[in-house]
Amino acid sequence: MPNDYPAGSLGEAPEPAPAAFLADLDGAGLSYDITTQARAEHGRDWWPLSIADVARGRVPHWPGVVVRAASTRDVSALLRIASVHRIPVTPQGGRSGVVGGAVAPDGGVALDLTGLNRIISLDEVSGLVTVEAGTFGPELEAYVNQRGWTVGHFPQSFDLATVGGWLACRGAGQYSNRYGKIEDIVRGLSVVLASGDVVKLGGRGPRQAVGPDLVQLFVGSEGTLGVITEATLVLRRTPSCERRAAYGFASFDEGLEACRRILQRDAHPAVLRLYDEAESQRNFEVGPCALIVLDEGEKLLVDATMQVVAEECRDAQVLDDALVGRWLAHRNDVSALAPLWEHDIVVDTIEVAGAWSTLARMRELVTSELTALPSTMVASVHQSHAYLDGACLYFTFAGKPEADPAGYYRSAWDVATRAVLDSGGALSHHHGVGRNRSRFVAEALASAFPVLTSLKRTLDPLNIMNPGALGIGGEPW
């Protein structure tokens, strides 16, 4: 977690889950914890809004019990019992999400899945690994690396996040231009429904035309439709070659154009990240808008990709490729986040996506709306993931309100999201929705939102599965 509760600050906790419910957990042989410390810790994730609460010894939410599952069977048993008692269940892995998706509601069950941490099988011929959802990224990557493979999924939360979290939030790794996002990597799932029934989805081949892809129904569902307990992922051979480059552009829009041309020439460097002036100075101490590029894989393909990049950046300033190493060394460092919030400086990031034709206008609208808010100190942006038809813009804002940090935080998200949706952009690129974005989902999905709510009613008629996350099954934040 970003910060710890001060010693002795928790005080008296509300009553735990009802005795009858706990008795049923005992009867099913399930492991659970109702201690004050465990319940407090599992009442939060990395949502920045909770950092100041924790620093002051305030518990944002008190789950009634922490259940520690060790198997798919445990999850099934828990959900059957929770359905009988109508007690909500929030699946949790590393709790590294930043939008409140793993925050268990008051009185509910915090379902700790990190005990599901086995690597079940590795198909060396097909390049497939089947793994339990509570497995952390470093353990999975080390296992397949030793056998000559890589998953290729490296989110900023890599050290903290689990496979189930990657899937539940529809995550994207920092090398995703080369390896794909998690929805491109997954081949099969085991999911426990609210009823306790276990369903196995996909896993019979690289694709199939047997109706809609039910695997993808649960990728990005954030625990609202079922609990992912196992996944089969496709692997790549570990890369034999790596090359790096860095360029400087006079403006962010010029850099975006270069990125568009690179992708539309079908070159997909693993890393293609463009920073505006403020972030280029902050991260690299350079004046122009910095573009850092890294590719890895087979030498012939890497050389061809980097040649396309060089051609499309021929009018840009060539920068020292040591900037790439600088990014690699600090890419997962978020140590400054907690101290800022603890000193009443509100900081967060907003990642969205849009078509190439909309990105310049979107960037202008979002940054101007954030900057116009009283108390805003800075609003900046970088481009982090790119596609044939568009890209992800990743905004950072910071402000120091004289009062009501939570009110300023909400206002910042309101104006930025309004600008994104008015520009025709996507509400979230890879952090998911959680509770922070839940109030925007109906508008973002528009006429498709009733389809999502119908699925929720069918799969979870009692609304016990992470209610309120994804904007369904409960009141939005």
Contact present, 59 and 53 (Cβ < 8 Å): yes
Q: pLDDT band for position 471 (50/70/90)?
A: very high
Contact present, 87 and 64 (Cβ < 8 Å): yes
Which whole number is the average pLDDT over 275-296?
98
Q: Are 119-237 and 337-431 the same fold in CATH? A: no
Q: Which of 272, 270, 292, 293 is nearest to 283 (CA)?
A: 292
Residues 6+ apart with CB under 8 A from 439: 471, 476, 477
What is the pLDDT at residue 416?
98
CA angle 363, 367, 368 (to 5 degrees): 115
Residues 6+ apart with CB under 8 A from 216: 183
| pLDDT single digits (tens) 66-95 | 999 999 999 999 999 999 999 999 999 999
Residue appearing with tokens 């809609």: 212
Percent of the chain topping pLDDT 90: 95
What is the pLDDT at residue 199?
98
Q: pLDDT band for position 252 (50/70/90)?
A: very high
What is the pLDDT at residue 476?
84
Residue 34 scores a pLDDT above 90: yes
Residues 6+ apart with CB under 8 A from 205: none
Q: Which fold has domain 337-431?
A: GMP Synthetase; Chain A, domain 3 (3.30.300)
Q: In the β-sheet with 128-132, what is the strand arrangement from edge to edge?
A: 119-123, 128-132, 227-234, 186-192, 198-202
Q: Which of 163, 114, 116, 121 is nearest to 138 (CA)?
A: 163
DSSP E strands in 205-319: the ranges are: 227-234, 236-237, 241-249, 271-275, 289-297, 317-319
Q: Which of 299, 278, 298 is nearest to 236 (CA)?
A: 298
What is the pLDDT at residue 376?
98
- Number of residues in the chain: 477
Q: Which of 418, 356, 362 is nearest to 388 (CA)?
A: 356
Alpha helix positions (H), 373-448: 405-422, 441-445
Q: pLDDT band for position 63 (50/70/90)?
A: very high
Q: pLDDT band for position 1 (50/70/90)?
A: confident
CATH tag, 19-115:
3.30.43.10
Distance of CA 366 to the CA centre of its chain: 21
Mean pLDDT score across all residues of the chain: 97
Specify the CATH architecture of the domain 241-330. 2-Layer Sandwich (3.30)
What is the pLDDT at residue 269?
98
| Burial of 276 from C-beta contacts in 10 A (0-12 / 13-18 / 19+) | buried
Beta bridge partners of 278: none
What is the pLDDT at residue 327?
98
Question: What residue ranges do the domains of the chain occupy?
Answer: 19-115, 119-237, 241-330, 337-431, 437-477
What is the pLDDT at residue 477?
84
| pLDDT single digits (tens) 146-188 | 999 999 999 999 999 999 999 999 999 999 999 999 999 999 9
What count of other Cβ atoms lies within 10 Å of the Cβ of residue 255? 26
Q: Which of 381, 384, 390 is nearest to 363 (CA)?
A: 381
| pLDDT single digits (tens) 374-420 | 999 999 999 999 999 999 999 999 999 999 999 999 999 999 999 99
Contact present, 140 and 151 (Cβ < 8 Å): yes
Task: Output the DSSP codes for 220-248.
Answer: T-TTSS-EEEEEEEE-EEPPSEEEEEEEE
192, two tokens: 């426990």
What is the pLDDT at residue 11?
85
- The span from the CA of 130 to the CA of 120, in Å, is 5
Q: Does the domain at residues 119-237 carry the CATH identifier 3.30.465.10?
A: yes
3, two tokens: 């910060």
